[in-house]
A and B are shown apart, each in its own frame.
Chain A
Amino acid sequence: MRCKAFFTILLLAAISSLAIVPVPAFGATTTNQMQVSAIILDRGHCSFETPGPYLINFNPALNPFAPVERNASVTFRVRCRGIGHGGSTVIVTRSEFNQLYLEKDSDTIPYNLNLPTSRPVTNNTPVDITVTATIPANSYSNAPAGSYNDTITINIEP
């Protein structure tokens, strides 16, 4: 983001410079070449301290006769290296964008996943990111007994 802002400033400066190029009133034109440059700062590279897979486990087991909203979470640690002095931002996304389901054979329990979209980071300093899964109360009252699971992909950038 910082480098984008930096580049935008340079660009605006360049456009502003164009505005002061003199244009004679009688149709003659004068052109001038100017250099435009930008520096793309190294955004660094972030990695998971533990490669995973990570696990969110709803414990204790779900009781269909006493359905309540259930939450469970996992925290994973991310470390970013090669970041400039001003710090940067790690972007967190998941690859699946549709409704998520825990599955057992053909039976499913819908759930939601809440993960932070971004976190500020500084060079070589670990940052903890917590992902929370939520099963709505009304989503498992008719679910057959058994073990349900799902696997999703979490992405971090850069």
Chain B
Amino acid sequence: MKKVLAIIAAAAVLAMAGTAMAATTTTNLTVSATVDSVCTASTVTNIDFGTLNPLTDPATSNTATKTGATRGEIRVACTAGTSYTFSADNAPVMTRSGGSETIAYTPVLPTPLAGSVLGTTYNVDAQVQKTAYDAAPAGAYQGTLTVTLTY
């Protein structure tokens, strides 16, 4: 008698399971997100030509190679894989402190690498032609160079 009961019980359970499986309804759920292209940039080191001497300097002085000069540094961090470019003011100048005389110079921008969240430090240099300052009054000259990161 116990065996018979067990068989009937098993049959009933199977019948219930069959009903449940047949009654499943499905739908699709799409999950989406966008990761922003984001870049940040900051100045690490300012550019400094050091001392310019019209009498002894070569025709062109570049902070990348000039003795006593300091190369500029900027640090750029971007969302991984973000492409970007550098640009700078078109005709930047340094102005004499306490005066209005200017010395034109040319920024030398780095070649950008692929974006990295961890950040990449680039050298930003500048070069100046001796003709731009061979008639300039002695003094300290300073200007602000804006480097733009486009991504």
Contacts and interface: CB of A to CB of B under 8 A. Distances in A.
A127 to B, nearest CB: 14
A3 B25 CA distance: 21
Interface residues of B, number: 34
A102 interface: yes
A151 interface: yes
Chain A contact residues (Cβ within 8 angstroms of B): what range? 35 or more
Contacts of B12: 7, 38, 40
B80 A45 contact: no
Interface stretch (B29-37, B49-57, B90-98): B29-37
Contacts, number: 170
A68 interface: no
Nearest to A14: B5
A153 B1 CA distance: 46
B31 A36 contact: no
A154 B26 contact: yes
Minimum-distance CB pairs A-B, first 10: A158-B23, A52-B27, A144-B81, A58-B33, A53-B28, A149-B32, A145-B37, A61-B34, A61-B36, A144-B80
Interface of A: 3-4, 7, 11, 14-15, 18, 31-34, 36, 38, 40, 43-48, 51-58, 61-65, 70, 72, 74, 76, 94-95, 100, 102, 104, 109, 111, 113, 131, 133, 135, 140-158
